Amino acid sequence: MDEEMLVSFPALFECLQQDQLNEFRDIFFDLHVYEQGQFYLSLDAEDRQKLYTYLSPQEMANMFDVIEEDQEDVDQLLKEMDPNYASDMLTFMFTDNAVDTLNQLDKKDVSMYLSIMEPESAKEIKNLLHYEDDTAGSIMTTEYVAVEAEQTVASALQYLKKVGREAEIIYYIFVTDEDGFLVGVISLRDLIVSDEEELIKDVMSERVVSVKVGDDQEDVARMIRDYDFLAMPVTDYRNRLLGIITVDDIIDVIDEEAASDYSGLAGVDVEEVADNPFQSAAKRLPWLVTLLVLSMSTATLIGHYEALVSKASILAVFISLITGTAGNAGTQSLAVAVRRLALQANDRSFFRLILAEILTGLITGLITGFTICVLVGVWKQNFMLGFVIGFAMMCAITVANLAGSLIPMVMDKLGFDPAVASGPFITTLSDLTSVLIYFNIAGIFMQYFIK
């Protein structure tokens, strides 16, 4: 947001209070639609009602096209509008955004809006509503520009002038044959610099990179990022053009994906901004309690070694040192594995990757183990104890590293998202294995350091 916008808000607010419709619209339409949206969202329910009388459904739609993605309580906003106004607005929105909005409502509300809508728009929206979440189909829009291969450049430009306002993006023009099959693409840039007499088929590129309607949205995001595209055509399995996906929606996918990986590593949904501590707690508790129950198995395991601890209480001193360090190492290896899976950089085989991770674990374990061996040896004046701690740490780190890379890779192979709540599970699991390794090694050598 820039400064000018912040200056406009109080002025707009005053016009609203004093019912100065014309002054309001003068200032309001000087703002970018995103800023209009921010103003709208800053109002209370009563002022929003006034805004619905100030703005046409189409003007409201332009605003909703930009703000829909951030809005968690979009269902409340729609419900406070007159149903006819709301369904008119949905008609004027780009189809993909209207679909996103409707996806946040109850089924019966969706049917209600679709039934008041004019049949053609309702049909277009219905077609998109049934695509599965996270597929190319679920984020595509049908407002693209398509021309035919036999047209001239001049007639294509003429056509653009006519339909340009309605399309979501006009900078790629897709070329189809008479049956709707995608046969080429031309950028508006190339169209503009081409000779007006030429035929589209002679200036278009025949190698169109496209995605299938059922493709994963993350794959689409990766392609748009790699190819630096502004939009990408979506086809059915027979290569008929169904819609396009634009770069602004891809930015949202990338953002969403990053937030979900981050959430997984932290064991909390960071996307859901809660309003009060009770809601925050309710969101965090399921993970915490699940992990707590898992941790109980570690406690039970330590319980088995209680006799050992009562003989050598010094052992208790190093439990958290070993579990903590192994947990850190496991988290590192997990994060690297999840990132590699996200980038699909699987150029090496499964077993070579696992082998590399075991070796990395051994090397880090060896050095960390040696460090702690010296530290403990000097601190406690007992190098045998140092050796036990260091050796246990090396083994614990190697196992944690292996688990950290193996688990996400196996989850991915099984078709699960490798990033879901992975961080805390790895540390909790590595607590268990670390304790097992630690007490077994300590048991073998304990005669050497019992005082």
What residues between 67 and 126 interact with its own copies by CB under 8 A?
Answer: none
DSSP label of 419: T
Q: Are 342 and 409 in contact (CB under 8 A)?
A: no
Is 352 an interacting residue with respect to its own copies (CB under 8 A)? no
- The stretch near its own copies (CB under 8 A) out of 9-17, 75-83, 309-317, 410-418 is 309-317
192-221 residues near its own copies, rule: CB under 8 A: 192-193, 207, 209-210
Among 299, 374, 410, 450, binds its own copies (CB under 8 A): 299
The residue (of 217 and 263) whose beta carbon lies closer to its own copies is 263
Report the alpha-carbon distance of residue 441 to residue 365 in Å, rounded.
15
Sheet holding 231-235, edge to edge: 211-212, 231-235, 241-246
Beta carbon of residue 223, minimum distance to its own copies (angstroms, whole number): 8
Size of the site for its own copies (CB under 8 A): 116
Q: Are 232 and 258 in contact (CB under 8 A)?
A: no
Among 141, 325, 398, 433, binds its own copies (CB under 8 A): 325
362-391 residues near its own copies, rule: CB under 8 A: 362-364, 367-368, 371-372, 375, 379
Neighbouring CB atoms inside 10 A of 312's CB total 17
Is 45 an interacting residue with respect to its own copies (CB under 8 A)? no
- The stretch near its own copies (CB under 8 A) out of 79-87, 98-106, 127-135, 162-170 is 162-170
130-159 residues near its own copies, rule: CB under 8 A: 157
Is 327 an interacting residue with respect to its own copies (CB under 8 A)? yes
Is 248 an interacting residue with respect to its own copies (CB under 8 A)? yes
Is 32 an interacting residue with respect to its own copies (CB under 8 A)? yes
Is 346 an interacting residue with respect to its own copies (CB under 8 A)? no
- The stretch near its own copies (CB under 8 A) out of 51-59, 116-124, 235-243, 321-329 is 321-329
Count of residues in the chain: 451
Is 424 an interacting residue with respect to its own copies (CB under 8 A)? yes
The residue (of 121 and 325) whose beta carbon lies closer to its own copies is 325
Site string for its own copies, 255-274 (x = CB under 8 A): x--xx-xxx-xxxx-xx-x-
Beta carbon of residue 47, minimum distance to its own copies (angstroms, whole number): 18
The residue (of 289 and 444) whose beta carbon lies closer to its own copies is 289
Among 179, 197, 345, 381, binds its own copies (CB under 8 A): 345
Q: Are 144 and 243 in contact (CB under 8 A)?
A: yes
Compute the CA torsion angle 6, 10, 13, 15 (nearest 10 deg): -120
Among 329, 388, 394, 402, binds its own copies (CB under 8 A): 329
Tokens of 58: 């189409």
Beta carbon of residue 106, minimum distance to its own copies (angstroms, whole number): 27
User: What angle, rounded to 10 degrees, do the helices at 383-413 and 350-380 form?
Assistant: 160
Helices (H), 267-349: 277-304, 306-311, 314-317, 319-343
List, in order, residues 6 or more apart from 368 with CB less than 8 Å away: 325, 329, 393, 394, 397
Among 129, 291, 354, 384, binds its own copies (CB under 8 A): 291
Report the alpha-carbon distance of residue 171 to residue 187 in Å, rounded.
6
- Region at 186 (left for phi over 0; alpha for psi -120 to 50; beta for the rest): beta
DSSP string, 78-146: HHHS-HHHHHHHHHHS-HHHHHHHHTTS-HHHHHHHHHHS-HHHHHHHHHHHTSPTTBHHHH-BS---E
Among 58, 227, 378, 448, binds its own copies (CB under 8 A): 227
* 59 closest CA partner among 27, 16, 92: 92
